[in-house]
Chains A and B, each alone.
Chain A
Amino acid sequence: MTTFEDVESAIYYEDTSQESAEFNDTLKVMTWNIRFGAGRIPFFGDSCGDRVLMTQGETEGYLNSIVAYIKSTEPDILLLQEVDISSKRSAYVNQLQYILDRTHLNYGAYASMWNVEIVASDGLGKVDAGNAILSRWEITDAERIKLPLRTDQDDLTQYFYLRRNILKAKITLPEHDNFYAVNIHATAFAKDDTKQKHIDEYVNVLNDIEENDEIFISGGDLNALTPWASKRDFCEDDKCSDDVCDGNYNTNTVYEGSYFEFIPNEINLLRPLYNFNPAIDSVSLQQDDLSLINTHSPWNTNANNTGFSDVDYWDRKLDYLFTNFEDGFINGTTHQDAHELSDHAPVSATLVFP
């Protein structure tokens, strides 16, 4: 198990063949949890399945679809979560390098959230997975900022468990030397106050950038619902066939990741982030415009995930984009058409510089 400093340098990547990177005063940003290139394969752990180890063909097949989607949406900066760079479950394909080499994006920074030589559980084996920032323009000052560990696990489980982080990096935008991208993947399954700590640290990082009169775009998979989400218990949607939703939130593990009221006042967990400018504005969220909102659904919503419209396919919002750029975003979009590529939909938005 690799351990990390509180703050340490992230790992830099480059496209093997650089593409042109003209800046025309607009900047499209996208965040996407790509589920380690596993598409909708029914994996163990998160979707009631048996699958553990993909073949190289399977991995590259899904990655090619992800690459095609990225090329069609043309983000200038891309925040990715659950990127495998050396994991047995995804045939050891370095997914960050794979995407860089096949898209218009030229530079990458990576911060591992799970780096274990061998996970002796379910045949998972070696894992190295984490967050990544990809950009047309050079990335500098990339930092991996450590997030607190869960405290609701035994020591052995915690030793082999995820080390979540915030990835912060400077993007060398032409004529803008104060522009940062910040990527986070907050805890999903904690039943203690870890999620609160993660969001607090995230807000602190963003406030620090703002206080330095610098600009950020930021986002990721926050594993938290909006303050306006009325449904906060997804147990019946997420449970596997043997599971029972019995209301024992703290002892029944089926509620981990499916119940969004473990911490006090969790409904307001993300409210401080709405002091910044969101990609999907709070008015849309309050009006329950589902075509703009939901970004996630588990595999077992339906046996083969067919027969859904784009809106019905997703059932909760976990993925967000924010900026402190004073004009805010335009064209905030939740890409609900990206059905089979991940269990998360990308969210994108554009900044227009004067």
Chain B
Amino acid sequence: MKIILQISFILLVVGGILLANDTAYPLENGQRQMGVFQPRIYGMNNNLEISTHPLLFFVKPNVKLKKFYKEINGFGLASRYSFDYPTLLLKILQKKGIGGLLSNPNDVGKIPHLIVLQGELLATKIFTKHSVTAKLGMSTCLGCALDSRHLIDYDLAYPRMALYHHGIGANMGLDLDYIYSEKISLKADGDLLFLPEENVFIEHKFLIHYTLSSNYTLSGGYKYSYGYYPFNKRESLWNLFPLFDLSWRWNK
């Protein structure tokens, strides 16, 4: 049972990473959105949007705040700030036996308190059938000096966990959303992740959204990752992961 819980949490964490949706425009006040793997998003007044993953919150307290400012020359501008405390989750993953993704405390050491803060600027231009969003961000995990042996040397996980070791990182990306028909829309994005003493990590995803009803959307696609990891410092690796999710919207 404990292993099933662990796997569920990992799926939620990975799903949240894979399916992140970037646009400067927030949900309208009173609108709510959630997915199986995506966080719960609350549209607030004053062009604010708050999101958190409620199930994950108990083991990985997390909250994201997005503030839309205004449009300049047709570009919607927003900033986004997030807080993340992964210590509890990492402690769950630090165990002996099956399910132990991190080595025991007597080997590499205890998981310290890790407080991750991220700030991003978002700019979105909306056209008739498509929109383009540019993103630029900085992340800090001040005082973090997690032993590098605690990092999971695997696509997607490594560049995010490496922040707990290096203490600082940056990201930039571009999102393209295209409305193909009333029921089908497409999303493609590309992200660059920068960390000290590491080569740049590149990620890209492509999703097809199918609107099942006014409230429900089914999504499927892939995530591509590219990078250099501790075991292949001289030769880059890439990987593809399938993506799927069901999300739903409602009004308060």
Residues of A that sit less than 8 Å from B by CB: 44, 50-53, 55, 86, 88, 92, 117-118, 120-126
Residues in A whose Cβ lies below 8 Å from that of B103: 52-53, 122-124
Evaluate contact between A88 and B231: CB separation under 8 angstroms.
Answer: yes
Listed by A's residue number, 27 A-B pairs whose Cβ atoms lie within 8 Å are: A44-B96, A50-B104, A50-B106, A51-B106, A52-B108, A53-B103, A55-B149, A88-B230, A92-B231, A118-B152, A118-B153, A120-B99, A120-B100, A121-B97, A121-B98, A121-B99, A122-B97, A122-B100, A122-B104, A123-B100, A123-B101, A123-B102, A123-B104, A123-B150, A124-B103, A125-B152, A126-B154
Q: Report how far A44 CA is from B96 CA in the complex, Å.
A: 9
Q: Report how far A86 CA is from B230 CA in the complex, Å.
A: 10
Evaluate contact between A120 and B101: CB separation under 8 angstroms.
Answer: yes
Q: Nearest residue in A to B230 (C-beta to C-beta)? A: A92
Closest chain-B Cβ to A159's Cβ sits at a distance in Å of 12
* A interface: dominant SS: loop
Q: Is B94 an interface residue (CB 8 A)?
A: yes
Q: Is B107 an interface residue (CB 8 A)?
A: yes
Closest chain-B Cβ to A118's Cβ sits at a distance in Å of 5
A52, A118, A126: the one within 8 Å of B107 (CB): A52
Q: Other than the known A51-B106, A124-B100, A126-B231, what 13 A-B pairs have Cβ atoms closer than 8 Å?
A: A44-B104, A50-B106, A50-B107, A53-B108, A53-B149, A88-B153, A120-B100, A122-B103, A123-B94, A123-B100, A123-B101, A123-B103, A125-B153
Minimum-distance CB pairs A-B, first 5: A123-B103, A50-B106, A52-B103, A53-B149, A92-B231
Q: Report how far A120 CA is from B96 CA in the complex, Å.
A: 10
B-side interface size class = 20 to 34
Q: Nearest residue in A to B157 (C-beta to C-beta)? A: A118
* B interface: dominant SS: loop
Residues in A whose Cβ lies below 8 Å from that of B153: 88, 118, 125-126
Closest chain-A Cβ to B91's Cβ sits at a distance in Å of 12
Q: Report how far A92 CA is from B106 CA in the complex, Å.
A: 21
* Those of B73-100 within 8 Å (CB) of chain A: 94, 96-100
**Residue among A50, A121, A122 with the most chain B CB within 10 A?**
A122
Residues in A whose Cβ lies below 8 Å from that of B94: 123
Residues in B whose Cβ lies below 8 Å from that of A52: 103-104, 107-108
Q: Nearest residue in A to B102 (C-beta to C-beta)? A: A123
Closest chain-B Cβ to A39's Cβ sits at a distance in Å of 15
Q: Report how far A44 CA is from B149 CA in the complex, Å.
A: 16
Q: Report how far A238 CA is from B220 CA in the complex, Å.
A: 52
Q: Report how far A89 CA is from B108 CA in the complex, Å.
A: 11
Residues in A whose Cβ lies below 8 Å from that of B101: 118, 120, 123, 125
Q: Report how far A55 CA is from B108 CA in the complex, Å.
A: 9
Closest chain-A Cβ to B231's Cβ sits at a distance in Å of 5
Residues in A whose Cβ lies below 8 Å from that of B104: 44, 50, 52, 122-123
Residues in B whose Cβ lies below 8 Å from that of A124: 100, 103
* Those of B183-237 within 8 Å (CB) of chain A: 230-231
Residues in B whose Cβ lies below 8 Å from that of A88: 149, 153, 230-231
* Those of B129-157 within 8 Å (CB) of chain A: 149-150, 152-154
Q: Report how far A44 CA is from B106 CA in the complex, Å.
A: 11
Evaluate contact between B97 and A123: CB separation under 8 angstroms.
Answer: no
Closest chain-B Cβ to A277's Cβ sits at a distance in Å of 41
Q: Report how far A117 CA is from B102 CA in the complex, Å.
A: 14
